[in-house]
Copies of this chain bind each other. A is one copy, B any other.
Amino acid sequence: MNLENSVGIVQTQFFTIEEKIKFESGIEFSPITVAYETYGKLNENKDNAILIIHALTGDAHAAGYHNENDKKAGWWDNLIGPNKAFDTNKFFIVCSNILGGCSGTTGPSSINPETGKPYGLTFPVFTIEDTIKVQKKLLDYLNVKTLYSVAGGSMGGMQAMQFCISYPEFVQSAVLIATTSRLSPQAIAFNAVGRNSIISDPAWNNGDYYDNPHKPDRGLSNARMIGHITYLCEEAMYNKFGRRLQNKDSYDFNFDVDFQVESYLQHQGQIFVDRFDANSYLYITKAEDYFDPTEKYGSLKEAFKNSNAKYLIISFDTDWLFPSSQAKEIVNTLMQLDKDVSYCEIKSPCGHDAFLLEYEVQEKIIKSFLNNHLKGELDE
């Protein structure tokens, strides 16, 4: 536990939305319990809140430690804390687990109170817009009157973008990192093959596996391995593994692991199944595929036109999952609308993973953006 500039020991909290929420599919759904954490204090004007949104497989635990023996800090601890980029001395930070997730917020693995059994595939398919509705309910519950900022990387960035589109009056600024306004067909393809891997695992059993001795771990693990290939880039692969063999000097001439890159992917797949639910993976990747404000609002310009937020957009030059060209499309759209937008392409050898690794440069950029963009307006 490293308490320097840490928010310290924190607890995940829970809030339940009892009223029905209308999903984009038309289905009305309740109740939804939301797992969330907060760091820092909401000020009297209720205008210093920042919503942090996690990526595909993240959770509400963005910073600090859960107990004294906790070795691993929250997933964005490097950026959230006293004097850090998201400075908890100034800001009230909120992070919640996504709708449909498996880390405390209601999802397909949650018990359906009407049946006493896990929802499985009876859980409604949802969209990024639906996840944002849930986040907004949480902020209302927490008495947040306006968001000083909303920030997220990768799929978290898509949600942050949708927040600006869905609640333009509510958001003062947005930090969109390593993200896109719509998945490319190639990114959809990777998600589709990942889902296919889960669905074709006999243990998946049409989503009804929670009471079975075997879960669709093989399918989920394989899906995760595919994902990890897209999170790294060619350069990162060469730097991390090259063609080096794993604990051997020559080929094994069998089908065990030969290369370090194989070992890395297998390990990533294996540790993932211990913390993630296969059905959640299906639902959340589907929401990602469906996200497309250009299609939904007629154009990206139309989608953003009511937003008055100030934008900081960050991309990474080696990110081939959500490449800089996609970030630039958002930047150009916002510029055409005469919005206040800053853009930074960070050089990194880390590919898409860079948004979770390149802290130092992101810290400087985000800190400067947050401190300057509404200078003097914040009641500290």
Residue positions of A touching B, CB distance < 8 A: 25, 121, 124-125, 182-186, 188-190, 192-193, 195-197, 199-202, 218-219, 221-222, 225-226, 229, 232, 234, 237-238, 240-243, 251, 253-255, 257-262, 265-266, 269, 282, 286, 289-290, 292, 295
Contact = CB atoms under 8 A, between A and B. Distances in A.
Contacts of A193: 222, 225-226, 229, 265
B237 A185 contact: yes
Given A193-B222, A255-B282, A234 B186 contact: yes
Contacts of A254: 125
A242 B124 CA distance: 26
Given A184-B237, A185-B237, A202-B202, A243 B190 contact: no
Given A124-B253, A221-B200, A254-B125, A261 B188 contact: yes
Closest 3 CB pairs of A and B: A200-B218, A185-B237, A25-B253
A232 B190 CA distance: 12
A295 B243 contact: yes
A25 B255 CA distance: 13
A237 B185 CA distance: 6
Contacts of A200: 201, 218-219, 221-222
A197 B195 contact: no
20 contacts: A124-B253, A125-B255, A182-B243, A184-B237, A185-B237, A185-B261, A186-B229, A186-B232, A189-B261, A192-B261, A192-B266, A193-B222, A195-B255, A196-B222, A197-B222, A199-B255, A200-B219, A200-B221, A243-B292, A251-B290
A269 B286 CA distance: 20
Nearest to A263: B192
Given A222-B222, A253-B124, A197 B199 contact: no
A229 B266 contact: no
B185 A238 contact: yes
Contact of A234 (B184, B202, B222): B184
A207 B290 CA distance: 38
A107 to B, nearest CB: 15
Given A125-B253, A200-B222, A255-B199, A237 B286 contact: no
Nearest to A259: B188
Nearest to A282: B255
A202 B214 CA distance: 12
Given A196-B222, A200-B222, A229-B193, A255 B286 contact: yes
Contacts of A199: 255
A265 B185 contact: no
Most buried by B among A25, A251, A269: A251
Nearest to A260: B185
